[in-house]
Each structure stands twice: as C-alpha cells, then as structure tokens.
Amino acid sequence: MATSPALPATSRAWHLVARPNGWPVASDFALRETPVSEPAPGHVLVRNLFMSVDPYMRGRMNDTKSYIPPFQLERPMDGGAVGEVIASGDERFAVGDHVLHGLGWREYADVEVKHAVKVDAGIAPLSAYLGVLGMPGLTAYAGLLDVASFKEGDAVFVSGAAGAVGSQVGQIARLKGASRVIGSAGSDEKVKWLVDELGFDAAFNYKKGPVLEQLRAAAPDGIDVYFDNVGGDHLEAAISTLNVHGRATLCGAIAGYNDTEPTPGPSNMVMVIGKRLQLKGILVGDHYGMQEQFVGEVGGWLASGELKYNETFVEGIEHGVDAFLGMLRGENTGKMVVTLGK
C-alpha cells in the first residue's frame, strides 16, 4: 500500500444532528472529529480540496422517501468533492492522484475506488469538476438538449439563471442558436452579469416585480422552452408565456425547498392542454450516458472561451454550513464551492 508520510489522526466532518423544519439553522448541524485510518484494500484515503454544497441536499435533510436516501442523523453528511489521494489500497490509484467522489462534507474521506473518478487538473481547475464540468453542468446540458428537445431558433427562458445550472443552460442555448435567451435572477448584479458577460438577450430581477409581467416584457413573442430551477410563480408565469407546443424541463423547485406546508401547484395548468405543452422532469442520474458528449462539447467551449463560468468560494470546512445556507439564499454567482485546503 502506498502512503504519503504522515496521515492525520482525525478528520472533521459535518453531521446532521436534527432535521430542519423550514429553513435549516446552525444547531441542526455539528462539526465533529472522526478517526482517520489507513485505507483497506480497494479503498483510497483522500484529502478533500473542494466540496460541493447543492440545493438537493436540503431535501436529504428531511426524513422522506425520495430518489435519494435522506441523510442519517448523527452521521457525516455526504456529497460531491474533489481531493488528492494521500494513501492508496489499490494499484490503479497513486498517491497524488486527484479524484472526484461522493464523500464531501469532511476533510478526509475513505473512498471505495469504484466510487472514485480520476480528474485532471491540467484540463480544468479541480473545482470545475463540481460545477461546469460536473453534475450541474451535465444537468444543464442534458436538461436543455435532451429533455427539452431544444432546437435552433427556440426562445429559451431559464430561472435561477445566475446559478451553476442556470448560467450554463442559457449559454448552451445561445451557443446552439436560440433565437432569444432570457434569464431571471435575484439581484441586479446577477442580471447585469447575465447580459453583459454571458450574452443573455434579456434578464430580470424577480424580486423587483411580478415574474409574469417581467417575463412578458422580456419575451414579447413568447418562449418555446422553459428550464425551471425554481417552481412557484416562475413556473406559473412560464406556462402562461410558453408558445403552442412549448416544452419545459422541470429541474428544480428551490422556491419551495424550505416550505413547511405542501407547495401549491400552478393555478394555470389548464393551459398545458390548450397549448399542448410538454412538462418533463429531469434527474441528472439518468443522463450519464451523455457524459462523454457533454465533456467534449462543453470542454471545447471552455477552451475557446465561448462558455464562461463563475464560482463562489467559501473557505474552510468550518464554514460549510454557512456556504450551504448562503447558496439557498442566493449568495452565490455560479457554483457555490467550499475550499478545504491548498
């Protein structure tokens, strides 16, 4: 077994200690020390360098049946992370290799090699494998091109447009020949970034007025595709604005993730019939078959500078929960990432 000189004795890991009711609070979480040991055969010990905080993690804090199991109480939470192998129990992984894996929310991770994917810092910065070249990026790519059956000339509206998924959806639509790309986001700075930097044709701040009014003004000829990251009044406004035979990808409904009562559905569902709309959900896990195509095409756009991305970094494991809650409140532009060390 290959080991770098000194393994740490302990690692800090965020544990869920109470299930949030509504908005999570600091006392729902605890940062605890856990022992670190040499990896068993078929495992690697990874020093995490970047960990992801994602909206879906809020759902995992509830004790409800879903497509992904809930976090267990009094156990370390998990999620996407990229780190460096510091001890290896498998000849296919060497000390110094960088890997993407699913044991985030902790400083050191004992990862079974079948759950570790080598990543190359020479191709893209390591944090990009959690965002633009990772799960959110594939969600954007597959959600637009496959689930919404985007075609050249479509007018596209994306909510949560300044986030990890949304910022990529809008740019892919532009690069693939959308007739118009419209985004909504929660601050004037984000709106400016979408239009000035990412090349959206129009964007609006949903906090400044009714979504429907602002969307109609931004899309005088209606929209053909809606990429929904938000739900609620955004989805309702999109249904009203979609053209006949329009398509919507239902990707997320973050406006309701902290609701304590069931979130009401759109009041205008009957329009789906008259306009023959197609509303289709996406789970990124169904689309890993597109991974090679996604990395090839998006990697090319990144290399040529045609696709831009932003990351908001929060430093230190001790600020992991702050980063997660900040992301839910909209403190990120692009992907929210926690840095754990150099």
Stretch that binds ligand NAP, among 28-36, 186-194, 195-203, 271-279 (CB under 6 A): 186-194
Footprint of ligand NAP on residues 78-137 (CB under 6 A)?
A: 136
Burial, 330: exposed, middle or buried (Cβ in 10 Å; 0-12, 13-18, 19+)?
middle
Number of amino acids touching ligand NAP (CB under 6 A): 30
Q: Any contact of residue 332 with ligand NAP (CB under 6 A)?
A: yes
Which two tokens mark 140?
């954007």
Footprint of ligand NAP on residues 232-251 (CB under 6 A)?
A: 251
User: Of these, 3, 4, 56, 121, which contacts ligand NAP (CB under 6 A)?
Assistant: 56
Which two tokens mark 331?
């403190």
- Mask for 190-219, x = binds ligand NAP (CB under 6 A): x---------------x-------------
Whole-angstrom distance, CA of residue 285 vs CA of residue 168: 18
Rounded least distance, CB 259 to ligand NAP, Å: 10
Whole-angstrom distance, CA of residue 2 vs CA of residue 96: 10
Q: Contact at 8 Å (CB) between 28 and 16?
A: yes
Residue (187 or 240) nearer to ligand NAP, CB? 187
How far CA 62 is from CA of 22, 70, 184, 259, in Å, comes to 10, 6, 28, 12
User: Of these, 182, 235, 248, 254, which contacts ligand NAP (CB under 6 A)?
Assistant: 254
Which two tokens mark 277?
């709309």
Q: Contact at 8 Å (CB) between 182 and 157?
A: yes
Q: Any contact of residue 54 with ligand NAP (CB under 6 A)?
A: yes
Query: Could you tell me the sign of the dihedral formed by the alpha carbons of 192, 166, 327, 298, in that order?
Result: negative
Residue (87 or 100) nearer to ligand NAP, CB? 100
Whole-angstrom distance, CA of residue 116 vs CA of residue 274: 48
What residues have CB less than 8 Å from 169, skipping those under 6 apart? 140, 143, 144, 156, 158, 161, 227
Stretch that binds ligand NAP, among 24-32, 50-58, 215-223, 293-301 (CB under 6 A): 50-58
Specify which residues 31 forms β-bridges with. Answer: 14
User: Of these, 2, 195, 212, 283, which contacts ligand NAP (CB under 6 A)?
Assistant: 283
User: Of these, 211, 248, 327, 340, which contacts ligand NAP (CB under 6 A)?
Assistant: 327
What residues have CB less than 8 Å from 298, skipping those under 6 apart? 132, 133, 137, 141, 168, 172, 307
Q: Any contact of residue 39 with ligand NAP (CB under 6 A)?
A: no
Q: Any contact of residue 229 with ligand NAP (CB under 6 A)?
A: yes
User: Of these, 255, 298, 307, 321, which contacts ligand NAP (CB under 6 A)?
Assistant: 255
Stretch that binds ligand NAP, among 30-38, 48-56, 95-103, 194-202 (CB under 6 A): 48-56
Footprint of ligand NAP on residues 146-185 (CB under 6 A)?
A: 160, 162-166, 185
**CB atoms closer than 10 angstroms to residue 306:** 13
Task: Give phi and psi for 192, each to the nearest 5.
Answer: -65, -45
**Binding positions for ligand NAP, rule: CB under 6 A:** 54-56, 136, 139, 160, 162-166, 185-187, 190, 206, 229-230, 251-252, 254-255, 282-284, 327-328, 330, 332, 335
